[in-house]
Amino acid sequence: MLILFKQFHRLALSQGLYPVVLSTLFAFTLLAGRVYLSRQWTYLFLVWNLFLAWIPYLTSLWTSPVYPRQSRRWGYLLLPGLLWLAFFPNAPYIVTDFLHLQHRPPVPVWYDMGLISIFAWTGLFLAVFSLRAMQMLVKTAAGPVLSWLFVVSVMGLSGLGIYIGRFLGWNSWDLFIHPEAVLTDILIRFTNPFQHTATFGVSLMFALFLLVCYLTVTADSLHRQS
């Protein structure tokens, strides 16, 4: 039992499990305080969005210990890898929930600012730690250059995912349920870029924002592991 605990503790430290759990509990505490003060469930959707943000993190947590045992069998990583990539934009997506911020008495607006901020910050934590775990897998398999190419590609796809989620109303599971419709919406914008400048502006802005967050949190640890 002690050996299992030490293994779990080592994995939790390397994957940032403790801070994301602490941040999640803080977010839920603030939301519970708001419900108590207002007797309303106004921002309950934040719980759902954070649940979706946990999916790519838990997928990376599952994948990281699997790869060393199946390093020559990439097929074992195909399903969790696709699942991780499809749901990854949900983690930074919570930042866009500031669109819902407005004065809702009796709760002061500063409280709601803090509430959305901690949910968004938790989502960013989950994104950063899960991406770092996946980058290390790619680095082990293909080297540092391709691992950073992987990171930049994921940033770009995540920025696009945030756009199609917030402004087109598609969800991650629509990639599996309605793939043709989602791809059609995307292709329309890529074939007529000057008519859809917001697509590229929003995608680029959030891709760069996520890249800055990623470098800020992980640069030192990645340097030590290089």
Nearest to 158 by CA among 96, 97, 56, 88: 88
In 15-143, which residue ranges form alpha helices assigned H by DSSP? 17-38, 45-69, 75-87, 90-93, 109-142
In the chain, the number of structural domains is 1
The conformational region for residue 107 under phi > 0 = left, psi -120 to 50 = alpha, else beta, is beta
Report yes or no: 83 and 59 within 8 Å, Cβ to Cβ.
yes
**Cβ–Cβ contacts within 10 Å for residue 116, how many?**
21
In the prediction, which pLDDT does 74 show? 61
Q: Is the pLDDT of residue 225 over 60?
A: no
Q: Is the pLDDT of residue 76 over 80?
A: no
Q: What is the largest CA-CA distance in the chain?
A: 60
Encode pLDDT of 87-124 as tens digits: 999 999 999 999 999 999 999 999 999 999 999 999 99
Distance CA 209, CA 148 (A): 16
Question: Greater confidence, 217 or 198?
Answer: 198
Q: Is the pLDDT of residue 75 over 70?
A: no
In the prediction, which pLDDT does 186 show? 93
Output the average pLDDT for the chain.
89
- 173-179 contacts, C-beta under 8 A, 24 or more apart: 173/86, 175/86, 176/86
Q: Domain range holding 75?
A: 2-225
Distance CA 73, CA 178 (A): 30
In the prediction, which pLDDT does 111 show? 97
In this prediction, residues 15-22 reach a mean pLDDT of 91
Residues 6+ apart with CB under 8 A from 174: 181, 182
Residues 6+ apart with CB under 8 A from 85: 56, 154, 157
Q: Which two tokens stand for residue 110?
A: 């500063």
Q: How confident is the model at residue 84 (pLDDT cuts 50, 70, 90)?
A: very high
